[in-house]
Amino acid sequence: MATQTIDGATIFFTDQGPGPSTGPALVLTHGFPLDLRMWDAQANELSERWRVVCPDLRGFGQSKSESPFTIESLADDLHELLSAIKATPVVLGGLSMGGYVALAYAKKYSRDLRGLVLVDTRADADTPEGKANRDKMIALVCQSGNKPIADAMLPRLLAPDAPRARPQVAKAVRSLMESCPPKTIEHALLAMRDRPDQTASLASISVPTLIIVGDTDAITPPAVAQAMHEKIPASQLAIIRGAGHMAPMEQPAQVNQALGHFMSSLP
């Protein structure tokens, strides 16, 4: 674990790997309301070959912060961190909310991007119903804390058979969600509700892009991933069998293989 002070917040991150001569760093950005531990299986295996950096975004995990943020400001934090630790240009990956941050980074900091990995995420903004649901979740977390948020989200995060087939994954995801500070959950829900639609920018992404999706992802289903694949010129799509929205935790071997192939194929 290392830290970097960015815009008044102490940002925690892991930085593992064999050294600077191994090509671009792979940066993995977590989803909501999680933290960098969701990438443990990827960081442990892939760092044998590549530099792998996993940050706790502002307010999440050990990056304690009470200040509000937007998806764009999280991308700004990330750019400042990666510049400070001399990791740019990067291969930037993000799951779901982390994918929104990766797309914001790709738009603003394309010069510091070598590749993009979009995992169980989407480019379009919230629908009116989605925004109304964010407002309900904000009221819930303000009134009752993070546990009811975890209760509401867990059934939709994992493949239908996960509680029986992979109870340890369900337990780990719940524990991550229940350790997220309620204030951060509130700020993240606001940031996601108000994020801009990035669909129009997809055609101008010029770096190699890997899109990964669980075959039973109920939040960002394969059709959403396929639509991004059709719009991003140099993209490839990997569908992970037996996974829902949390593909990297549910099926780490398949996700690691897709990431490894992608990293090896970069010029």
Closest contact distance (angstroms) between CB of 3 and ligand MLT is: 23
Cβ proximity to ligand MLT: between 183 and 193 the closer is 193
Rounded Cα–Cα distance for residues 253 and 258 (Å): 9
Among residue numbers 231 through 260, which ones bind ligand MLT (CB under 6 A)? 245
Closest contact distance (angstroms) between CB of 203 and ligand MLT is: 22
Among residue numbers 133 through 162, which ones bind ligand MLT (CB under 6 A)? none
Among residue numbers 208 through 227, which ones bind ligand MLT (CB under 6 A)? 219
Among 96, 209, 216, 235, binds ligand MLT (CB under 6 A): 96
Cβ proximity to ligand MLT: between 31 and 248 the closer is 31
Among 31, 61, 214, 222, binds ligand MLT (CB under 6 A): 31
Residue 122, both tokens = 């989407």
Closest contact distance (angstroms) between CB of 19 and ligand MLT is: 32
Residue 174, both tokens = 């719940």
Per-residue contact string for residues 165-194; x = within reach of ligand MLT by CB under 6 A: ---------------------------x--
Q: Give the per-residue SS3 of the chain.
A: CEEEEECCEEEEEEEECCCHHHCCCEEEECCCCCCHHHHHHHHHHHCCCCCEEEECCCCCCCCCCCCCCCHHHHHHHHHHHHHHCCCCCEEEEEECHHHHHHHHHHHHCHHHEEEEEEECCCCCCCCHHHHHHHHHHHHHHHHHCCHHHHHHHHHHHCCCCHHHHCHHHHHHHHHHHHCCCHHHHHHHHHHHHCCCCCHHHHHHCCCCEEEEEECCCCCCCHHHHHHHHHHCCCEEEEEECCCCCCHHHHCHHHHHHHHHHHHHHCC
Binding-site size for ligand MLT (CB under 6 A) equals 7
Among residue numbers 97 through 136, which ones bind ligand MLT (CB under 6 A)? 97
Closest contact distance (angstroms) between CB of 120 and ligand MLT is: 7
Rounded Cα–Cα distance for residues 220 and 227 (Å): 11
Cβ proximity to ligand MLT: between 51 and 122 the closer is 122
Closest contact distance (angstroms) between CB of 32 and ligand MLT is: 4
Among 25, 28, 29, 32, binds ligand MLT (CB under 6 A): 32
69 is a contact residue toward ligand MLT (CB under 6 A): no
What is the number of other CB atoms lying within 10 angstroms of the CB of residue 212? 28
Closest contact distance (angstroms) between CB of 123 and ligand MLT is: 12
The residues that touch ligand MLT, with contacts defined as CB under 6 A, are 31-32, 96-97, 192, 219, 245
